[in-house]
Structure 1
Amino acid sequence: MKQAASALLLALALSHGAAAQTAAPARKAARPAAHTLVARPTAQPALDQLLREYVEAGKQPGAIALVAQDGKIIYRKAFGYADVAARTPLQPEAIFRIASQTKAVASVGLMLLYDEGKFQLDDPVGKYLPAFKNAQVLATFNPQDSSYTTVPAKSEITIRQLLTHTSGLGYPVIGSKEARAIYAKAGIPSGIGTPGGLLATSMDKLGRLPLLHQPGERFTYGLSVDVVGRLVEVLSGQPLDEFLRRRLFEPLGMRDTYFYLPAAKHSRLVPLYTEAAQSQALTPTPPQGGMTPDYPKAAGTYFSGGAGLSSTIDDYAAFLQMLLNGGEYGGRRLLKPATVQLMTTNQIGALEQGGNKFGLGFGIMTAGQAPASGLSEGSYEWGGIFGTTYWVDPKLKVVALLYTQKYPNTTARDLPAKFKQQVRQAVTAAPAPSSN
């Protein structure tokens, strides 16, 4: 169990990039566009009780939650500790490793270029990244020496298939045994944790490896959005970190979102905790397999569009509110409304991911899954492996986020599930104004 947990952490702990980032400069205090989310706190004792219960029971070192409805932040609180040993209280401004929440950001980044006419969704990826031309699909695999045979792909991978995880690309370590062996042998990283190297180099290697299945035939979670990040670089002519900073983070006022944090912000990065196998006591996650939990403090060069960002709950809430607004925030339009609609509706046809559908970068809640989840049909959501989750409920006009930082995480499913139900109750009731 412990080895499996370590393997999974390592899996989502590798590296990606494009141009050297020796030290990320702190962004200027002045925001090009002020947050349009405004604070209108309301008393939410049930949410308080839920989060406090998990912290006081030692199930989580700390937790931050934010809920906004109609552009008004009705709940924003932190519980527990940033540093358990030092008993340092967790602050709402803390910076978290958001891992796969990066995928939505990179996907939006690519769709900014779509709005400019730089590509079409059904363009072959090989049109822009030659290594992905003439794709081959895995036919047989020999586990003894990781050798394999292939057959030609029936069609080229498209950009739409990257955004929907139907390309046939998988993940190292947490993927199938075939993907683990083939990617490991080729030195393909998984996205976070080892900041050296370049995205261009890894994606070029990846493009020459076999797909796990024919393009478009299955939903397979994997490195597709890392390829999206590389497409952003090629189509824009900028490193991924620079493009996102100029085109998303600065316009949205996301001053605390980085692949690699400037030194002035290092102290705000919360420690990553793990559970002791026997006692379940919370202890800092140690470096393992070449991955250090302090990777956001490195002067890294690998910019993973699939898992590399760290951020605050406030920054990501602004990003989500922009989507809920149909692509506009703070008086500035970033995406066309039709593009947001395209991204947040089913793009995988009859295929499924966990009973739900998938858009261009987001899981989409179906009618069958919605009642038990607490979310409305058509809500879009995702999360990160280190304990962060988010969703947007267009029917209720809600943006909600819950951030913890623990891995392995025995409460990875039950706490977010309870939180979603409590949030639904809160936003469909008429709570009294908060006294603080």
Structure 2
Amino acid sequence: MKKLFVSITTVIVLFAALSCCNQKINPGVPSVLKESSPESAGMSSQRLARLDRLIQSSIDSGRTAGAVGFIARDGKIIYYKAFGVSDLDAGIPMKKDNIFRIASQTKAIVSIAAMMLFEEGKFLLDDPVSKFIPEFKNPQVIDKFNPDDTTYTTIPARREITIRDLFTHTSGIDYAGIGSPVMKAIYAKYDIPAAFGTDKMILGDKMRALGKLPLAHQPGERFTYGLNIDLLGYLVEIWSGESLDEYLRKHVFEPLGMNDTYFYLPENKHARLVKVNTEGPDGKVKSLIPQDVINYPLMKGTYFSGGAGLSSTVYDYAVFLQMLLNNGEYNGQRLLSRRTVELITSNQIGDLSLGYDKFGLGFEITTERGQTVLGVSEGSFAWGGYFGTTYWADPEERIVAMIFCQQVPFSHSGEIQGKFKVLVYQALND
């Protein structure tokens, strides 16, 4: 009898131990990001110095003017450095807390905001968009287009577009600025904004107008990067009863302490905004003049672009990503459940692909084949921004990393960002 009691006790203890080991959130991860030595996080200081040389050589060779690089592992900030200048003409040194136009990195934040409302029961992923915005009822798909006068004919869509289609860019909605020539012409004709809008536009007005225009293809047929998350941002307004700006401020930025993330910067933070550069025919960086169109963060605007409108710092965005690595919680503030984070970071596009990778609810997801390219772990989630910013979060290695620049066009961005990823993983020391 005594042996039986010992055996049962042993089983209970082992079960409890295994249960602890299977916890999704690493109990050793700090509740907030804190600076620490690379070695304390299983990384090599000596090998991380290669990142310094990579970024500095890009600046010295004239390929970019400045950058901020960041790596955290297990919630420990082990690399956080500024290089070059934030203003090429004035020669102002880049600082770690400079503010960058994060453009399409806005999409992840708005996607998370929408999923917070999903958790409140405001919608289901396969609800039709027309359930909430009647203008999207009975969608049409472009059939024939006359470039001479921009007239077109359409055919009925086989089904309505769903909320899931917006998250995954499979709705058939294109971009007005960087989309196909046909859809750009149609959107321009009806004054659909390219991405950022102007200071006097209203998000709801433009999204309802978008609902009356044809789709580029049948819903669910393929991945087409477009104004989907702008539309999702308008749905956040409908579901919450608040402007997108208000909702993000109250429910995402303030709880996470993201104090430098805005659609339109307050005047006391204008000086921290990095100037956008361009490149000459020789591929060398030069000042972009004029800056008026891309200085939308300095406006007092009313158009809140859920797909591209935010500006932020490297640190603020790292907090946002760390919250996701913590399965929806940061510094005692829970935004999402663990299960919802798993849903967000799982393949949502079936057999469709982005190169080797898949797409979740707002993020590109690294696949088994995709991890063979740069060494980023399978299951990592990532994206970037039009002006030369990129990020990724790696649940397997517990890494948050990013490098931010401000340049368009930026023909060297793929090389610099790709090498940055390689050099992060070569510094692992455990």
TM-score (norm 1): 0.88
Q: Which residue of 2 aligns with 1:409?
A: 410
Task: Kindly indicate whether the alpha-carbon contact (under 8 Å) linking 1:167 and 1:215 is maintained by their aligned counterparts in 2.
Answer: yes
Taking the TM superposition and a 5 Å limit, the aligned residue runs for 1:87-102 are 87-102=91-106
Shift of 1:281: 4.3
Q: Which residue of 2 aligns with 1:36?
A: 32
Change (3 A) 1:35 1:318: farther
Deviations 1:129-168 (A, max 9, x none): 1111111111111112111111111111100000000001
Consecutive unaligned residues of structure 2, counting only runs of 5 or more, are 1-29, 39-44
Shift of 1:195: 2.7
Change (3 A) 1:74 1:120: same
Moved more, 274-283 or 388-397: 274-283
Deviations 1:348-369 (A, max 9, x none): 0000123310000000111112
Q: Which residue of 1 aligns with 2:214?
A: 210
Between the aligned partners of 2:429 and 2:225, the Cα distance in structure 1 is 37
Deviations 1:179-206 (A, max 9, x none): 1111111110022263321000100110
Taking the TM superposition and a 5 Å limit, the aligned residue runs for 1:338-377 are 338-377=339-378
Q: Secondary structure at the match of 1:102?
A: helix
Q: Which residue of 2 aligns with 1:156?
A: 160
Taking the TM superposition and a 5 Å limit, the aligned residue runs for 1:193-204 are 194-204=198-208
Q: Which amino acid aligns with 1:36?
A: V
Is 1:48 the counterpart of 2:63 in the alignment? no
Task: Kindly indicate whether the alpha-carbon contact (under 8 Å) linking 2:176 and 2:195 is maintained by their aligned counterparts in 1.
Answer: no
Q: Which residue of 2 aligns with 1:64?
A: 68
Q: Secondary structure at the match of 2:307?
A: coil
Measured on the aligned residues, the alpha-carbon RMSD in Å equals 1.4
Q: Secondary structure at the match of 2:86?
A: strand
Q: Which amino acid aligns with 1:329?
A: Y
Q: Secondary structure at the match of 2:221?
A: coil
Taking the TM superposition and a 5 Å limit, the aligned residue runs for 1:71-150 are 71-150=75-154
Moved more, 53-62 or 231-240: 53-62
Between the aligned partners of 1:407 and 1:281, the Cα distance in structure 2 is 9
Q: Which residue of 1 aligns with 2:422?
A: 421
Between the aligned partners of 2:127 and 2:293, the Cα distance in structure 1 is 38
Task: Kindly indicate whether the alpha-carbon contact (under 8 Å) linking 2:192 and 2:210 is maintained by their aligned counterparts in 1.
Answer: yes
Deviations 1:390-409 (A, max 9, x none): 00111101000100011110
Moved over 3 A (4+): none
Q: Secondary structure at the match of 1:342?
A: helix
Change (3 A) 1:336 1:300: same
Q: Secondary structure at the match of 1:383?
A: strand
Shift of 1:340: 0.6
Taking the TM superposition and a 5 Å limit, the aligned residue runs for 1:11-30 are none
Percentage identity across paired residues of the two chains:
53
> In structure 1, which of residues 257, 268, 274 is the aligned counterpart of residue 272 of structure 2?
268
Deviations 1:310-355 (A, max 9, x none): 0000000000000011000001111011111111110000001233
Between the aligned partners of 1:170 and 1:281, the Cα distance in structure 2 is 30
Between the aligned partners of 1:424 and 1:390, the Cα distance in structure 2 is 14
Consecutive unaligned residues of structure 1, counting only runs of 5 or more, are 1-33, 431-436
Taking the TM superposition and a 5 Å limit, the aligned residue runs for 1:157-236 are 157-192=161-196, 194-236=198-240
Between the aligned partners of 2:50 and 2:106, the Cα distance in structure 1 is 30
Task: Kindly indicate whether the alpha-carbon contact (under 8 Å) linking 1:35 and 1:253 is maintained by their aligned counterparts in 2.
Answer: no
Between the aligned partners of 2:256 and 2:151, the Cα distance in structure 1 is 47
TM-score (norm 2): 0.89
Moved more, 37-46 or 205-214: 37-46
Between the aligned partners of 1:140 and 1:292, the Cα distance in structure 2 is 33
Structure possessing the higher radius of gyration over alpha carbons: 2
Task: Kindly indicate whether the alpha-carbon contact (under 8 Å) linking 1:285 and 1:293 is maintained by their aligned counterparts in 2.
Answer: no
Q: Which amino acid aligns with 1:147?
A: T
Q: Which amino acid aligns with 1:366?
A: T
Q: Which residue of 1 aligns with 2:308?
A: 307
Q: Which residue of 2 aligns with 1:8?
A: none
Shift of 1:126: 0.5
